[in-house]
Amino acid sequence: MNEQQVLKINVRGGEDTLRAPRLASEFLERCLSLKKNRDEMQLVIVELATNLEKHAKGGVLILKEIQESDEKGVLIQSLDWGPGIADVNEAMRDRFSTSGSLGLGLGTVNRLMDEIRIEPRAKNGQGTVITCKKLDSGVQESSIRSPLQIGAASRPHPNMRQNGDSFVVKSTKDTAFFAVIDGLGHGQFAHRASHKARLYLENHYKGSFNEIFRGVGYECRSTRGVVMSAARIDWKSKKLSLASIGNVETKIYGSLAPVRIPTRRGILGQGYPKPKIIEQDWDPMMQIVMFSDGLSSHWHEEDVQRLSMESAQKSAAHFLRKYAKDSDDATILIAKTKKS
């Protein structure tokens, strides 16, 4: 393995915000193979350098190559001895700059990077350390044709035009990722929260569950917040991973006795709750049902039996029609093996 590459860039004045991405260009060429990843990293470097110059009167950017067996990419740290970030919520909010900079804001940095952490540099709160990670990964064609069918159905509160629920379905090499998101309450503010969470997931679904849930939490800090459950099936290694915060439920039917996955209390966007993560073997006979609390969880046996006989999409539509409550948004997602 080659020695890990490190680049240090001092930021003292306004000219350094333009010089920093130029200095990093060759380093990024060596460490990131995808142009899209290099371009996004350049934007992040400009934003972090601008923050150092504007808010801390200077600091340092340290770029490190990630060369691990399962991860390759770049880690960047922004270090300063400024007054610290008093309101991380405001710092993560998207905004335009009033001082002529790009003004992306750390909210945009959060969406561009696979991981972001913001911590005080000293115990008394002085200084700030911002750590970001960008993995050099792209969506690859699966070496095995997906054996899964995934169906989803969703509708807003009967008296509302905008849906406070949303869902995500994504595939990558040999895996499928899916999630159900429920914005707190209903109407436009719940819709805004779930929409921001969905956009984040669509760009970060390949990360670890801890990183994904932390990123959604950052993304939703300026909203009411969301609760969420997510799953990843690796059909090559036959592994199932599930994670949740709040009352989006998951039930598993199939070869085993019905399983109701426990959830962990909390709201993404309010504090930093860690998700409940469960990992187990995936059996192709499993039918995984994920749904927001806008659906009743008490189902008739004949409806459960339909899961194995009907397509995932037809089953999702049936459950939504029959069990959706009149008092809330409602979403259900079903994943099962395709019929041969």
Closest CA to 230 of 165, 280, 179: 179
As a whole number of angstroms, the distance between CA 195 and CA 109 comes to 17
Tokens matching residue 265? 């209390």
- The reported pLDDT for the residue numbered 99 is 41
For the question of whether the overall pTM of this predicted structure is more than 0.85, the answer is: no
Cα–Cα dist 94/105, whole Å: 5
Contact 240, 280 (CB under 8 A): yes
Residue 1, token pair as written in the block: 């393995």
CA distance linking residue 142 with residue 146, whole number of Å: 8
Q: What is the pLDDT of residue 141?
A: 47
Residues recorded for the chain: 340
Listed in order, strand segments (DSSP E) in 217-329 are: 226-234, 239-245, 249-253, 259-260, 276-281, 287-291
Cα–Cα distances in Å, from 326 out to 224, 235, 323? Answer: 21, 37, 10
* Contact present, 154 and 194 (Cβ < 8 Å): no
- Paired with 182 in beta bridges are 165, 227
> What pLDDT shows up at residue 271?
77
Mean pLDDT per 10-residue run, the chain (340 residues)? Answer: 79 84 91 87 89 86 86 90 73 49 66 84 83 74 72 93 93 90 94 92 89 92 94 93 95 76 88 88 93 95 90 93 95 88
How far, in Å, CA of 92 to CA of 181, rounded? 20
